[in-house]
A and B are shown apart, each in its own frame.
Chain A
Amino acid sequence: MSQNTLFDKVWELHKVANLPGGTDQIFIGLHLIHEVTSPQAFGALKDKNLKVKFPSRTVATVDHIVPTDNQSRPFQDNLAEQMIDTLEKNCFDNKIKFFNIGSGKQGIVHVVAPELGLTQPGMTIACGDSHTSTHGAFGSIAFGIGTSQVRDILASQTIAMNKLKVRQIWCENKLSNGTYAKDLVLHIINYLGVKAGVGYAYEFAGPAISALSMEERMTICNMSIEGGARCGYINPDEKTFSYIKGKLCSPPNKNWDKAIKWWESLQSDENSIYDDVVKIDAAKVEPTVTWGITPGQSIGVNQKIPTLEEIDPNDQFIAGEAYEYMGFKPGQPIKDIPIDVCFIGSCTNGRISDLRVAAQVLKNHKIAKHIKAFVVPGSERVAKEAKEEGLDKVFMNAGFQWREPGCSMCLAMNSDKLIGNQVSASSSNRNFKGRQGSPNGRTLLMSPAMVAVAAIKGKVTDVRDFLRK
């Protein structure tokens, strides 16, 4: 059993009681809600005649269902309008802070909370969304929950949960030029598999992780869940503290030193005990692309799609399904596979640094004629910053559509969808069957830089070759 890791310390600190069944009752410091997984929870609360326990510990925004072309109200989609309307009403009735469209603070919940300084080290953070693991980049213990647990937190600010084991993923060396946090995390998921994280929290550590910016760290922790780990985190350091400083909800100046002192005390001790340790060499990571229907089915851009014989027997069944669904042949190079749609956005890669990297690739280039490409900033703040830097112009001059913030085609709950069996190059997090809105649509996950170069060339391309020229 793990000892003296950040996870152990934060867990112990938030433990309220041992419940009769043997689970722990854990206090949730920050509860984030959105329109998709909260209405039934508010409904259940009403049925039980209960009130929201601490309204000020819950914060709401709207992201999954928002249209990214025309956001004027009422939305054209009646069901989407009903959902935002229900959230507005629930927040108003229960005195919950709601960052609505046009507030300057709306966006994807996992982009918004860090940029407002709500996300801080040492907190427990929960949200009815599996990518809540994103917030672990700050040294918080953050995880996705279902609607029943949203109800429990609204009612009690606590949940019943069994403690997770802790696996340290030690990343040696540094990423090479043209490879990014997305490539590293895809590589890790491929190496460990999509089931390895079940029952674990992942602690990402080592020189390659320390070298990452906060936004890159969020990309890593965001995808912990794709490796099966409900929670992923990174020990807080100077970069963490300087990112938080001066944000709207960060500790006021008079308490800043106190906050830092406490945050530093949370870091995993040198003599921490982990349930498992895995080592990864970041220098060996190539620009990575998925070829299948799980985020674990990925290869370096210069590799060939593995044949059945090259795949672990335990993973052969899903590989067979992937060949059939994707229509790619075992042994076929991933490079040069034609792309139809390019999507830059999502809670994985929809932040300002992602847009900067993509814009740098696109500058003075045009996307291929047959490509439909669009960029969806992760939040209103990201959109504003990008416009101030002229990035919107760079994207539009290249032939990309510039959209309004939301989750968009990461899960296609709005009108941004693939059509038929189109192939998308996507900076998002899931390549599941049907994920991007068409029951036979195909998704290739990659970094924003790789999406940008795929848009220019119209096919999967090694961004390093492109940058060298």
Chain B
Amino acid sequence: MNNQFKPPSGGFSKINGKCISLIGDDIDTDRIIPARFLKCINFDSLGQFVFDDDRKALKGDHPFDLDDNKDASILIVNCNFGCGSSREHAPQALMRWGIKAIIGESFADIFYSNCIAIGIPCFTLSKKSITIIQKHLENKDLFFEIDLFKSTASSRDLKFNLEIKKTSRKMFLSGEWDTTSKLIENNDLIEKKLNDLPYIKFNSSI
């Protein structure tokens, strides 16, 4: 677990890290961070509680508890990862534990956009490729270099062509994934839009 947490910022094109695999489909955000940890007004303490219930149930054998995975930063998952609740606490907890990128078969929509918003790129690969990676991780460590320019993940023995939404890829490369300032730049257009919307005209103010 990463104790000196620094949120990512600016553009980047490469992520180097050790892989950690979490096998299973439809892993929901309640499992990633149970609701009792949402009683907070900042995200700072969430890293230690990631997968709290699952980890307790496995008594030290959960991938996030294994010594081997201590410094891992690239999470390998299966289908529909992050389904359910929209809680950004889920990717925040993963990020504060040390996850910098996720590679999976597929992601739930809201989880995906939350990851992009806080600077965790999510890549997809076919079931076959994910299985190869997960099998590999059963026996030995795996270090990937993810190249955002080329959309590849490569180790000494393995190489995969990753899929990522073009818009997300561009944002990470340019460093414009912190959206607020981009949105505010269009202030005039926003004000015009407000004045043009029919329902703003025919409703009294709230």
Contact = CB atoms under 8 A, between A and B. Distances in A.
A17 B206 contact: no
Contacts of B167: 21-23, 162
Nearest to A157: B190
B114 to A, nearest CB: 4
* A-B residue pairs, 10 tightest by C-beta: A146-B88, A148-B117, A146-B114, A144-B86, A255-B202, A39-B41, A156-B183, A79-B39, A130-B86, A439-B53
Interface of A: 13-14, 16-17, 19-23, 25, 27, 29, 36-37, 39-40, 43-44, 48, 50, 53-54, 56-57, 59, 64-65, 77, 79-80, 82-83, 86, 97, 118, 120, 122-123, 128-130, 132, 143-149, 151-152, 155-162, 194-195, 198-199, 225-226, 228, 230, 249-252, 255, 258-259, 262, 294, 314-315, 317-318, 321, 411-413, 430, 432-435, 437, 439-440
A195 B206 contact: no
Interface in B147-204: 165-168, 170-171, 174, 176, 179-180, 182-184, 186-187, 189-190, 193-194, 197-200, 202-204
B107 to A, nearest CB: 8
Interface residues of B, number: 68
A40 B42 contact: yes
A433 B197 contact: no
A463 to B, nearest CB: 27
B86 A22 contact: no
Given A21-B170, A48-B180, A148-B117, A83 B39 contact: yes
Interface in B57-113: 57, 78-80, 83-89, 91, 106-110, 113
Nearest to A129: B86
Nearest to A117: B203
Nearest to B182: A19
A448 to B, nearest CB: 22
Contacts of B53: 433-434, 439
A118 B117 contact: no
Given A37-B88, A258-B202, A294-B26, A20 B174 contact: yes
Contacts of A48: 180
B4 interface: no
B41 A43 contact: yes
B106 A198 contact: yes
